[in-house]
Structure formats: structure tokens, C-alpha cells
Amino acid sequence: LLSWARRSIHDVHVGGHHIPAGTTAYVNMWAITHDEKIWTDPLSFKPERFLPSTGGLDVNIMGSDLRLAPFGSGRRACPGKALGLQTVHTWLARMLHHFEWLPSPDHPVDLTEVLRLSCEMKGPLFAKPIKRNTVRFQ
């Protein structure tokens, strides 16, 4: 997963390497998020790795911590990141509130990943939503 294409406007030296003006450079986010020096067992699904209370890392996803920067960083970061995070939070809360979620008996959950434009599940996730009896306040 490559992101954040940038073109150098001046000749520059980085880490002893000459980068001529006009060179396009990319940040390899896949390599960063799979670096075993930063992430213990990076190929395993471990959401607790982001919970400092369980010994996980305290990672800021808003762009200041490049160990995990899903919205980019700096001046050219995603302008809709705050709205996107709030929208997803609200949408997920409503889905969890209004439905009980059960695994599909015909399709077992498979968390195998595949790298495409982004890191995705190899197969679709099937779940059976059961509508809850919720009370509406007018």
C-alpha cells in the first residue's frame, strides 16, 4: 500500500542519498504497519494492540504518529478525517444499538487478509442482523 506521493522540488540529500529535483517519492504504509520493530506479530489480528490499558501502544491516528496514519499526515492530510471518524462512530453505534449480530451459519468468519489497493479481507464477512425491539422517544 503506497500513499502520499510527493515530488521533490529541489535537489536534496536524505540519509546519504542524492534525490534530484522532480523525483516522485511514496510512503510505504504497508511496510510501516508490518514492521516487527514497531508492531509485535504484525500479521495477526490483535485489536488490543491499540489499547494502552492492556499494554498496547498509544497511537494517534490523526496523522501525528506515523506508525499508523490512515488519513495521511501534514498539510496534505485527508480534509474529511474528523467528519469521517465521527460519521463512522455514529453509524456503528446505531447499527449495534438497533441490531443483534450473529455469525452466518453458512459462511464461517475468515479474517485472512489480502493486499489490494488497501488491506482487505480475502473473502466477504457474512453476518445475520436481528432487529432489536428498541424504544423510540418522540
* All structural domains of the chain with their residue ranges: 80-138
As a whole number, mean pLDDT of residues 102-126 equals 84
Instruction: Mark the binding-site residues for heme, compressed into ranges.
Output: 78
Average pLDDT over residues 83-89: 87
Query: What mean pLDDT value characterizes the chain?
Result: 84
Return the pLDDT at 138.
Answer: 67
- Residue 91 confidence class, pLDDT cut points 50, 70, 90: very high
**pLDDT at residue 80 greater than cutoff 80:** yes
What is the structure's pLDDT at 134? 72
Q: Which parts are annotated binding residues?
A: 78
- Band of pLDDT at residue 122, cut at 50, 70 and 90: confident
C-alpha span between 109 and 93 (Å, rounded): 22
CB 30 within 8 A of CB 67: no
Is the model more confident about 79 or about 75? 79
Dihedral sign of CA atoms 58, 120, 71, 6 in order: positive
